[in-house]
Amino acid sequence: MIKTDVKYMRMALELAAKARGNTSPNPMVGAVIVKDGRVIGKGYHMKAGTPHAEVHALREAGELSRGATMYVTLEPCSHYGRTPPCSKAVIAAGVARVVVAMEDPNPLVSGQGIQQMREAGIQVEVGLMEKEARELNEVFIKYIKTRRPFVVMKSAMTLDGKIATATGHSRWITGEEARRLVHLWRSWYDAILVGIGTVLTDNPLLTCRLEDRQAQNPVRIILDSLGRLPVDVNVLKTIEQAPVIVVSTEKIPRERKAVLEKLGAEVLVLPEREGRPDLAALLDELGRREITSLFVEGGATVNASFLKNRLADKTVWFVAPKIVGGPQAPGPVGDMGIQFMDECLNIKNMSVQDIGPDLLITGYPDYGDKEPAAGKRGRCRCLPV
């Protein structure tokens, strides 16, 4: 590895990230072509069904591609999908060396693109800045391996761990900068999920309201076991802005289901678990619809359900420099049945950054290989949502 390789791969990663929120169900990919110390072509995958990053870069470089080096953040595809295979385009262009950040986890590719290029006489090197490439495409990696969406759980609490006062008032815990970031995240992920309690309390829109990204609203999902969603809530008033899926059970009254459907919402009836929609079944269904990412903005009960059932992949937690106090003020996670500290769910790979006056703590739940501790003592149950 040399410094110039790192420089150009970083450029490719930055190009790839420009399409964040636009490529689902495809990954974000960037490519840079260099010859004689000069960038002669670059590109990134902009949207599913459009040319891949390598094709954009090769078109820009033209005949100069022959004998050049290509830096690409993900192994060039080797199969016919929505577009032709990129590995063959790279070979045909006469590229001499290809530096790949990571192999494609897609079983349809998974090393075959690299093999094809090597068999054609191209020098292929794999693994430069692989960690950064995996972080960039953590959504795609989870989805392509499991066919379930990558689940990001967001919460905001005060310094003493409260998400509202004892009266339920919660606007606003965080500052303007954090709220703006949350709207940006909404534009990145395919779907957003809340429980019926959040809708009844806050009546949110669940849309992205950044001026330059308003067209990138997520699918709005509401967990509503009994069909309690009022007909005059904001999500139904703005149904032309983004689809609404009400996730319920057989307990929803037929008349209520018909009313919601007439207003334009989809009512998804799922199997029950402890009388509530089975969240694992929900993720399976979303995966079948090519919804690759899910942004959870639920309350304490929803958060506990996702964590307890090992369904959250990432947590983004805001901590505001405020103190509410009082035993009746709720916290961000409901009952998980944990009785002993050695049963706690640990968070790994944490990072902390300042977002205005608030702290943002990002991490990944470490479920390990153990069964949920409360389950070992016969007390584990799926929490209501």
89-98 residues labelled b (16+ CB within 10 A) or e (exposed): bbbebebebb
* Contact assessment for residue 147 and residue 287, using Cβ atoms and an 8 Å cutoff: yes
Token pair of 365 as six digits: 């739940």
Say whether 250 is catalytic.
no
Q: What is the distance between the alpha carbons of residues 359 and 357, in angstroms, rounded to a whole number?
A: 7
3-state secondary structure of 124: strand
Q: What is the distance between the alpha carbons of residues 256 and 375, in angstroms, rounded to a whole number?
A: 36
Binding-site annotation: residue ranges for NADP(+): 156, 172, 198, 202, 225, 299-305
- Burial class (CB within 10 angstroms; exposed 0-12, middle 13-18, buried 19+) of 342: exposed
Active-site residue, from 14, 54, 274, 285:
54
The backbone torsions φ and ψ at residue 90, rounded to the nearest 5 degrees and listed phi first, read -65, -45
DSSP codes of every residue in 209-250 = --GGGTT-PPEEEEE-TT----TTSHHHHTTTTS-EEEEE-T
Give residue 318's region: left, alpha or beta (phi > 0; psi -120 to 50).
beta
Token pair of 232 as six digits: 């005059």
Binding-site annotation: residue ranges for Zn(2+): 52, 77, 86
Which of 205, 199, 206 minimizes the C-alpha distance to 225?
199
Binding-site annotation: residue ranges: 52, 77, 86, 156, 170, 172, 186, 198, 202, 206, 209, 225, 297, 299-305
Which of 66, 68, 67, 70 minimizes the C-alpha distance to 56?
70
| Strands, sheet with 123-126, edge to edge from the N-terminal-most edge strand | 38-44, 30-35, 69-72, 97-100, 123-126
Alpha-helix residue ranges (DSSP H) falling in the chain: 3-17, 53-61, 86-93, 112-119, 130-136, 138-146, 176-188, 196-202, 234-237, 254-262, 279-288, 300-308, 373-376
**Catalytic site residues?**
54
